[in-house]
Amino acid sequence: MLKLQGLYKSFHPGTVNERTALAGVDLTLNPGDFVTVIGSNGAGKSTLLGAIAGSFYVDRGRILLDGEDITYQPAYRRSGQIGRLFQDPSQGTAPNLTIEENLAIAAGRGAKRRWISSITPSQRDFFREELSLFEMGLENRLTCKVGQLSGGQRQALALLMATIRPPKLLLLDEHTAALDPAAAQKVLEMTQLVVQRGHLTALMVTHNIQAAFSVGNRTIVMGEGKILKDLTQSQRQSVSPGSLLAYYV
């Protein structure tokens, strides 16, 4: 489904600020894999997701999505197949547009006709139905400006926007880290729901080791630009989260 082969990425090469962010990453995701990613600050987790999404090109290596070589495909072309959420809920949603306008833009992504014509009643019903899945009352606030929502509500909307046209791959970069514990828990539950429902393949970076081990079916541990551990579901059950702290040093 996703195949990463020998990925390398340095920032500011040849200067005193040179940072090697990816130092030879090989990873294969099978269809339906929901992989959580942990590792210390600066381990290369965000860089890995950025490389997959096309925020920059890697220095070396290959990225294959469903057999297609996307290594040098620009980010805007990948965005039709790859959904992405960030820590900051304001990335991915437009604050001055309403909930339904945001959803209409997301639903039209990748389509040939890109402008938003007026939202039809059947579209509105569809948005309402999708939002009601989250049980946050958002389905009754379709014409509310997104800037008025709480961080958790906004991240829920961003999650729906990223998946309303099911992507081949969903990338989540600490998307619950900026939320209060209750909202973080809620968004995490919704994430599992959305991934299961759509049979999506996903990579989720988290600082919460407990969440990393209870969500999805596989966990990778990153450090110094490499994948240090790749734990299957049964391996995750036999490893104590505490023993992983060694990788954070």
Ligand X SMILES: Nc1ncnc2c1ncn2[C@@H]1O[C@H](COP(=O)(O)OP(=O)(O)O)[C@@H](O)[C@H]1O
With CB under 5 to 8 Å by kind, the binding choice for 42 among Mg ion, ligand X, none is ligand X
- Smallest gap, in angstroms, from Cβ of residue 28 to ligand X? 20
- Smallest gap, in angstroms, from Cβ of residue 23 to ligand X? 10
Which residue sits closest to Mg ion, CB atoms considered?
46
**Which of these ranges, 39-47, 49-57, 187-195, 225-233, lies near Mg ion under the rule CB under 5 A?**
39-47
Could you please report the per-residue DSSP string of 8-22? EEEESTTSTT-EEEE
Q: Cβ neighbours of residue 39 under 8 Å, at least 6 residues apart? A: 45, 221, 222, 223, 228, 247, 248
Q: What is the three-class DSSP state of 162?
A: helix
98 near Mg ion (CB under 5 A): no
- Smallest gap, in angstroms, from Cβ of residue 44 to Mg ion? 8
Contact yes or no for 191/222 (Cβ under 8 A): no
47 near Mg ion (CB under 5 A): no
| Nearer residue to ligand X within complex by CB, 47 or 93 | 47
Looking at 46, 71, 206, 219, which residue binds Mg ion (CB under 5 A)? 46
Q: Which residues bind ligand X (CB under 6 A)?
A: 11-12, 19, 21, 39, 41-47
| Nearer residue to Mg ion within complex by CB, 10 or 102 | 10
- Smallest gap, in angstroms, from Cβ of residue 224 to ligand X? 9
- Smallest gap, in angstroms, from Cβ of residue 56 to Mg ion? 14
DSSP summary character for residue 43: S
- Smallest gap, in angstroms, from Cβ of residue 225 to Mg ion? 13
Q: Cβ neighbours of residue 45 under 8 Å, at least 6 residues apart? A: 37, 38, 39, 173, 205, 222
| Nearer residue to ligand X within complex by CB, 64 or 177 | 177
**Which of these ranges, 41-49, 126-134, 137-145, 220-228, lies near Mg ion under the rule CB under 5 A?**
41-49
d(CA 65, CA 84) in angstroms, rounded, equals: 15
Contact yes or no for 231/221 (Cβ under 8 A): yes
206 near Mg ion (CB under 5 A): no
- Parallel, antiparallel or unpaired: strands 68-69 and 82-85: unpaired
The number of beta carbons lying within 10 Å of the beta carbon of residue 84 is 24
With CB under 5 to 8 Å by kind, the binding choice for 43 among ligand X, Mg ion, none is ligand X
- DSSP3 helix / strand / coil % (the chain, rounded to 5): 35, 25, 35
Interface size with Mg ion, residues (CB under 5 A):
2
What does the binding site for Mg ion look like in residue numbers (CB under 5 A)?
45-46
